[in-house]
Amino acid sequence: MTALALERDDFRSILHDRRMILFTALAVLLVLVSFLGLGLGATGVPVSRILSVVADALTGRVATGGDALIILQVRLPRLLLGLLIGGALASSGALMQGLFRNPLADPGLVGVSAGAALAAAATITLGDRLLTPLLGPLPFSALPVGAFAGGLLTTLGLYLVATRSGRTSMATMLLAGVAFGALAGAAMGLFSYLSDDRQLRDLSFWSLGSLSGATWTKVTAVAPFILPTLLAMPFVARGLNALSLGEAEAFHLGVPVQRVKAIAILLVAIAVGASVAAAGMIGFVGIVVPHVLRLVAGADHRMLLPASSLLGAALLVAADTVARTIAAPAELPIGILTAAIGAPFFLWLLLRRQGGVAL
Amino acid sequence: MSPLLEAKGISYRSGGRMLIEAADLSIAGGSFTIVIGPNGAGKSTLLRVLSGEISPTEGEVRFDARPLRSIPPWRLAHGRAVMPQASDLSFPFTVFEVACLGVEGIGRGLSRGERQRIALDALEQADVAHLGHRNYQTLSGGERQRVHFARVLAQLQAGRTVETRQVLFLDEPIASLDLRHQLALLQTAKSLAQDGLAVVAVLHDLQLAAGIGDDLVLMRGGRLVTRGRPESVLTPELITEVFGVSLVSPILPPSPWTLAPTATRPLATGAP
């Protein structure tokens, strides 16, 4: 009887301890990476100076010196944008995987990012031609809205194509994602053909993905989209847990399946749309981060979604710091870096699955 | 007392085919009903309609005198649990977590600790407590089935704090179980029925059905052929007519097996 009691406490405490350790580690990692992101670069800034500059700025004193300018006007907005977008991409990856009941789903991989980028491109080229003469120059926040619409349409389309009577086929989804991606690529090509020089540069920026254009304007335009979605994601966690048993089983457990799916699709579209609008297509963050977390701490979405936000944020800032220092003074688009790491990882996932779960 | 579950003139049509045709069925609390019939008879579809997963094309199902469609999913989940035929999990949940899925959001006034205790008790009842830490995806088919049995037991236990009139649906619950676990599962279900639950199961093993069911529902081609006590349903004539097999002996003997009292725990493999 004592052995049994011990065993019972075991289950609970192990789960609990693991999560405490995990979130503490993630928080420490996030702080560390943030200081690296602020301190490293063409001009190195020591931690003490970073602290005093940020403290000055927060208390309203005017910061002086070139390094203060670099930190406040260049690196800080870039850091915040990286945190936001990394968190958004990783947690929407986890959310999509839960929605499709498939650990290989990723907004970049299945064409959602491409759809969002296409819509953003359309907003630029067509918006310039059709709307600017009427309304004046479009504010930057028109881009996240456009990209959100594109992401939403693509996610919905994908879901409709890949789901038959409540079962989502992994093969169909990946292939449909390829088709959607190709379609978006073709349309992007058309837009670039129609574009002038400035628009062309903006378009090519989307296909690579980069945080280099980070400004306070972008941060403040994107944060109202991303922060609420990150905070809202845990509310569908229980539903996603039940959904991983299957739609019928989730319904039997009392989950309002259609509502959970609709909310999940909406959240993914908002988060990915805003990310793509600000930084273009950055792939594989959404697939690598949740997978690593599942290996470490299990599949429970109540842990997975917030943890993905934290680890995704840290990972993207770290990757961005590498991207802008590795070939300094030149800068590597971060999308290239994440793809270079993420694509082999994805292949490894595919190979590993061969023995176990079938496609 | 009114029947717990009542179907009136239900039909279900899908893709131009009648999967269920004009079925009337009422199920009382405290009974163990077993649906039998050849492949494609509509047994699983009947369960899906009765459990509220799909709405009948015609007719109506009532749960505790209320139309099933009018009961919100979360409320229904307190009074009705369904054990699926087979279930793949796309993520590496542990066995304990799968059992916990049965109690999340079910029941009123239960603390986190109480929920987990319910889940652990259910795992023990289904003889899978020793697998608690294991990744569900690495389990065998039979072990998975027992984990899902634990999950629905947990759901019913938690649901009892809100709804005392409950139905348990089991869709071929013993398909991949060994003989001992087949009997153990059916006996657990039987004792639930004796406690007042309505248990509705799809079974293929006619002998086990005869041995354990109070009430047999025989289906063929989407229609209810007959229902009643095992001895009145499993007649040689009907068995030959519906299943196309002949009995060697004049009547179907009830299940010849019973659980050996000593074999409750030692068979569990992998226990520390």
- Confirm or reject contact between B90 and chain A (CB < 8 A): yes
Summarize pLDDT for B90-110 with one digit per residue, the tens: 899 999 999 999 998 888 788
Cβ distance of B84 and A249 shorter than 8 Å: yes
pLDDT of A238 higher than 50: yes
Given this model, what pLDDT does residue A38 score?
85
Mutate to test the interface with B, among A245, A287, A352 (most CBs of B within 10 A): A245
Q: What is the pTM of this model?
A: 0.85
Considering only alpha carbons, which residue of chain A is nearest residue B123?
A8
Q: Which of B84, B96, B117 sits opposite A246 (nearest CB)?
A: B84
Averaged pLDDT of chain A: 82
Given this model, what pLDDT does residue A12 score?
58
In the block, which residue shows the tokens 């609970």? Answer: A12
Cβ distance of A252 and B90 shorter than 8 Å: no
Q: Calculate what percentage of chain B has a pLDDT beyond 70.
A: 93
Given this model, what pLDDT does residue A100 score?
82
Question: Mean of the pLDDT values across residues A175-188?
Answer: 84
Considering only alpha carbons, which residue of chain B is nearest residue A8?
B120
Contact A83, A316 (CB under 8 A): yes
Put simply, the chain A residues between 283 and 312 with a CB less than 8 A from any chain B CB are 294, 298-300
Given this model, what pLDDT does residue A134 score?
64
Fold (topology level) of B5-86+164-243: Rossmann fold (3.40.50)
Given this model, what pLDDT does residue B262 score?
54
Q: Which of A12, A254, A294 sits opposite B76 (nearest CB)?
A: A254
Cβ distance of A241 and B101 shorter than 8 Å: yes
- Confirm or reject contact between B85 and chain A (CB < 8 A): no
Given this model, what pLDDT does residue A128 score?
66
Cβ distance of A299 and B53 shorter than 8 Å: no
Both tokens of residue B231? Answer: 């001895």
CA distance A136 to A154: 29
Considering only alpha carbons, which residue of chain B is nearest residue A245?
B89
Given this model, what pLDDT does residue A131 score?
64
The strand pairing partners of B14, in sequence order, are B17
Summarize pLDDT for B17-40 with one digit per residue, the tens: 899 998 899 999 999 999 999 998
Contact B103, B187 (CB under 8 A): no
The strand pairing partners of A132, in sequence order, are none
In the block, which residue shows the tokens 């947690």? Answer: A91
Structural domain boundaries in chain A: 17-353
Mutate to test the interface with B, among A252, A257, A304, A308 (most CBs of B within 10 A): A252
Question: Mean of the pLDDT values across residues B216-228?
Answer: 92
Given this model, what pLDDT does residue A237 score?
93
Put simply, the chain B residues between 33 and 72 with a CB less than 8 A from any chain A CB are 48, 51-53, 72
Given this model, what pLDDT does residue A132 score?
62
Cβ distance of A248 and B90 shorter than 8 Å: no
Put simply, the chain B residues between 154 and 183 with a CB less than 8 A from any chain A CB are 155
Nearest to B222 by CA among B52, B59, B37: B37
Which element (helix H / strand E) includes B168?
strand B167-171
Both tokens of residue A23? Answer: 């979130």
Cβ distance of B53 and A254 shorter than 8 Å: no
What stretches of chain B show up as alpha helix (H) in DSSP? 43-50, 73-79, 95-101, 112-125, 141-159, 179-194, 206-212, 230-233, 236-243
- Confirm or reject contact between A246 and chain B (CB < 8 A): yes
Given this model, what pLDDT does residue B266 score?
45
Contact A268, A106 (CB under 8 A): no
Contact B234, B227 (CB under 8 A): no
Residue A170 banded pLDDT, cuts 50, 70, 90: low
Contact A117, A230 (CB under 8 A): no
CA distance B42 to chain A (A): 17
pLDDT of A341 higher than 90: no
A166 by DSSP, 3-state: which?
A: coil
- Confirm or reject contact between B137 and chain A (CB < 8 A): yes
Residue B257 DSSP code: -
- Confirm or reject contact between B227 and chain A (CB < 8 A): no
Contacting residues for B173 by C-beta, under 8 A, at least 6 apart? B83, B145, B149, B185, B186, B189, B201, B203
Summarize pLDDT for B101-144 with one digit per residue, the tens: 999 888 878 888 899 999 999 999 999 999 999 999 999 999 99
Top pLDDT among A149 and A61 is at: A149
Top pLDDT among B143 and A123 is at: B143
B265 by DSSP, 3-state: which?
A: coil
Nearest to A88 by CA among A100, A111, A106: A106
pLDDT of A95 higher than 90: yes
Q: Which of B53, B74, B91 sits opposite A254 (nearest CB)?
A: B74
Contact A97, A79 (CB under 8 A): no
Fold (topology level) of A17-353: ABC transporter involved in vitamin B12 uptake, BtuC (1.10.3470)
Q: Calculate what percentage of chain B has a pLDDT beyond 90.
A: 60
Maximum average pLDDT range among A45-49, A247-251, A309-313, B235-239:
A309-313
Phi-psi region at B244: left, alpha or beta (left = phi > 0; alpha = psi -120 to 50): left
Question: Mean of the pLDDT values across residues B141-170?
Answer: 93
Cβ distance of B94 and A101 shorter than 8 Å: no
Question: Mean of the pLDDT values across residues A140-165?
Answer: 79
Both tokens of residue A31? Answer: 């702080």
In the block, which residue shows the tokens 């005093």? Answer: A52
- Confirm or reject contact between B255 and chain A (CB < 8 A): no
In the block, which residue shows the tokens 């029925």? Answer: B193
A224 by DSSP, 3-state: which?
A: helix
Given this model, what pLDDT does residue A82 score?
93
Question: Mean of the pLDDT values across residues A153-180?
Answer: 77
Q: Which of B77, B84, B132 sits opposite A248 (nearest CB)?
A: B84
Cis peptide bond N-terminal to A329, omega within 30: yes
Question: Mean of the pLDDT values across residues A16-40?
Answer: 88
- Confirm or reject contact between A12 and chain B (CB < 8 A): yes
Question: Mean of the pLDDT values across residues A18-41?
Answer: 89
Question: Mean of the pLDDT values across residues A155-162?
Answer: 82
Q: Calculate what percentage of chain A has a pLDDT beyond 90.
A: 23
Cβ distance of B74 and A256 shorter than 8 Å: yes
Note the ipTM here: 0.89
Question: Mean of the pLDDT values across residues B211-219?
Answer: 92
Tally Cβ neighbours within 10 Å of residue A6.
9
CA distance A313 to A317: 6
Summarize pLDDT for A255-289 with one digit per residue, the tens: 998 888 888 888 988 898 888 888 888 888 888 89
